Structure 1
Amino acid sequence: MYCITCSKLSLYIICKNCQNTLLKPVFNKREIEDGFYNYSFYPYSEIEDLISSKYHFHGDKIYNILARLSFLEFTKKFKIDEQILAIPIDDHSRHNFSHTAILAKHLKSSIITPKYNTLKAKNIVKYAGKDLEFRQKNPRKFQLTNIHNQTTILCDDLITTGATIKEAKKVLEKKNNKVLFSLTLDDAKL
């Protein structure tokens, strides 16, 4: 197999050299609502082609690499004195795998437990390339099951306007859940 970034022969879809040099995460913080933050690891422009792999059969391999380099490393440094649920935003498997479930899986630790199939969008609308006005007029209409009175974090692959994350946060809070922050692989505003 050849590395998709440098085209050199590799045992991995992204070779170890490219993982260590091109995909070194940088922790970024953005306030998306008063006192509520999203943390991301890459500027969207740097991994745009890798993010779009979620629409292809090999995307799960790429998402596992990105999640291992960023989300897993985050869990090694994150400390809190309570148990937390990691909630993937709309962890559907429309493309043979769920990219948000892969991200949540890499957050698993002694204090973070991924909780799958709990926050699902009833409105399957594509936001790619759409502005904030379109996103606000076409909410995802999330449905939450089996989570109440918990401390949570949200995870998704990309933050653009923050509309999806804010909508998901509100749905969780209606069931008396505390949402500490959200984590995304990348930020379109970086």
Structure 2
Amino acid sequence: MRCISCEKLSFYIICKNCQEKYLKPSFHKREIEENFYNYSFYALSDIEDLINSKYYFYGDKVFNILAKLSFKKFAQNFMFDEKILAIALDDHTRHDFSHTAILTKHLKSEYIETKSNILKAQSKIKYAGKDLNFRKNNPRNFKLANIHNKTTILCDDLITTGATILEGKKVLKNKNNRVLFSLTLADAKI
């Protein structure tokens, strides 16, 4: 196959050279609610084409590479005084894979347990390109599996306004869960 970046022959959809040259993550922190932070690894402008691969059949390969470079390295360096749950925001399947489940899977470690099918949106409205007003007036209406009294982190591919993450956090808190922070691949505001 050919690297989607440089088009050279490669065993990977993004060759090792392009991964090292263009996909070095840098850690970003944004407060999205008082004392509640989102951490991300890339500016959306740097990886937007790669994020949009979630709409195509090859997106799982791209997301696995991005997750190994960012989420997996984060998990290897993360320590906490108890085991926490990493929960994907709306990990429903598109094109035979869930991009948020792929990201979350790479967080598995001694301190992080990953869970699937925990927080599902009941509304399938597309948020891409929509403003905060639209997002607030059209909530995801998350349905939470039987999870309560747990310490968690939320995982998503992208943060724009933070509305989806805050909605997920509220649903978890309503079942007496503690949400430490959210973790996203990219941030649209950096």
TM range (shorter): over 0.9
**Structure 1 equivalent of residue 31 of structure 2:** 31
Where in structure 1 do 4 or more consecutive aligned residues deviate above 3 Å? none
* CA deviation map 1:70-126 (0-9, x unaligned): 000001111111110000000000221000000010000011011110100001110
Task: State how far apart, in whole Å, the 1-side matches of 2:64 and 2:2 are.
Answer: 17
* CA deviation map 1:141-161 (0-9, x unaligned): 000012100000000000000
**Structure 2 equivalent of residue 104 of structure 1:** 104
The answer to whether the aligner puts 1:84 opposite 2:84 as a matched pair is yes
Which sections of structure 2, spanning at least 5 residues, go unmatched? none
**Structure 1 equivalent of residue 176 of structure 2:** 176
**Structure 1 equivalent of residue 123 of structure 2:** 123
Q: Percent identity?
A: 70
Question: What is the RMSD of the two structures over their aligned residues, measured on CA atoms?
Answer: 0.5
Normalising by the residue count of structure 2, what TM-score does the alignment of the two structures yield?
Answer: 0.99
Q: Which amino acid aligns with 1:66?
A: L
Q: Which amino acid aligns with 2:125?
A: V
Task: State how far apart, in whole Å, the 1-side matches of 2:94 and 2:25 are.
Answer: 27
- Give secondary structure in 2 for the equivalent of 1:7: coil
CA contact (8 A) 2:3 2:9 kept: yes
**Structure 2 equivalent of residue 47 of structure 1:** 47
CA contact (8 A) 2:45 2:188 kept: yes
**Structure 1 equivalent of residue 72 of structure 2:** 72
Task: State how far apart, in whole Å, the 2-side matches of 1:64 and 1:173 are.
Answer: 30
Q: Which amino acid aligns with 1:152?
A: T
Aligned pairs, number: 190
Q: Which amino acid aligns with 1:24?
A: K
* CA deviation map 1:149-186 (0-9, x unaligned): 00000000000000000000000000000000000000
Return the offset for 1:9: 1.1
